[in-house]
Each structure stands twice: as structure tokens, then as C-alpha cells.
Amino acid sequence: MNASNRNENQALARAVLEIDVANHPGVMSHVVGLFSRRAYNVEGILCLPVGDGRQSRIWLLVGEDQRLPQMIRQLEKLEDVGAVRRHHAEHAVFTQLEAFFRP
């Protein structure tokens, strides 16, 4: 991504999605593929197993674009997705990680 693009993107509003999924090797591809094949940039991804490890939780930081409601519906349609919750961009999950992403 070039600099002017990056500036433009930062000016845009963001949203954080919290997605409960079944934990297996293909699930990240299913989720991220929905975005990549629509040229919808995913700015941040975080995924860890929860509980007994049969489930995982994926956190996505995405641009707040007019397609977002449709993206959420597409996510909800995936067999491996249990639930999708939408949060504001200031959600602690990504802001607390900033220390690991200093240039």
C-alpha cells in the first residue's frame, strides 16, 4: 500500500468485528476470503482458541465501508461462524496491541 493510500485509509472510519468460529485449519481462509475476493481490505486480524479449543474467536479490524452490513451477513452465512458482533474501532482488543506494531 502506498503512502497516499494509507493516509486516505486512516482518514476513514473503522470497525471491529468479533466472530465466533469453529476451530479448524480452514476457517481463517473462509473468513478472510470473503473480504479478499471483494477487494475489501482487512487491516487487522487476531485469532485464538477459546474454552476447550473447539471454538476460536477471530477479531477483525476493517474499514467502515457501505458494504460492511452485507459483509456481516455474508459472515453469518458461513457454516463455521456462530455469531458476529460489531464494535467501534476504539475497542481495546486492537488498541492494546499497538506496542507490538511500532515501526
CA quadruple 41, 46, 51, 52: dihedral sign: positive
Q: Decide whether 70 or 95 has the Cβ nearer to other proteins.
A: 70
Q: Which residues contact 12 (CB under 8 A, 6 or more apart)?
A: 63, 64, 65
| Least distance (Å) between residue 54 CB and other proteins | 13
Q: Decide whether 9 or 26 has the Cβ nearer to other proteins.
A: 26
Question: Could you count the other beta carbons within 10 Å of the beta carbon of residue 1?
Answer: 8
Q: Is residue 82 at the binding interface for other proteins, with CB under 8 A as the rule?
A: no
| Subset of residues 17 to 36 that bind other proteins, contact rule: CB under 8 A | 25-26, 29-30, 33
CA distances from 68 to 17, 24, 39 (A): 10, 25, 12
Instruction: Please work out, in degrees rounded to the nearest 5, the angle formed at the alpha carbon of residue 64 by the alpha carbons of 90 and 28.
Output: 85
Fill in the per-residue mask, 34 to 73: x = in contact with other proteins (CB under 8 A), - = not in contact: ---x-------------------------------xx--x
Q: Decide whether 49 or 69 has the Cβ nearer to other proteins.
A: 69
- Residue 81 corresponds to which amino acid? V
Give the interface with other proteins as residue ranges (CB under 8 A): 25-26, 29-30, 33, 37, 69-70, 73-74, 76-79
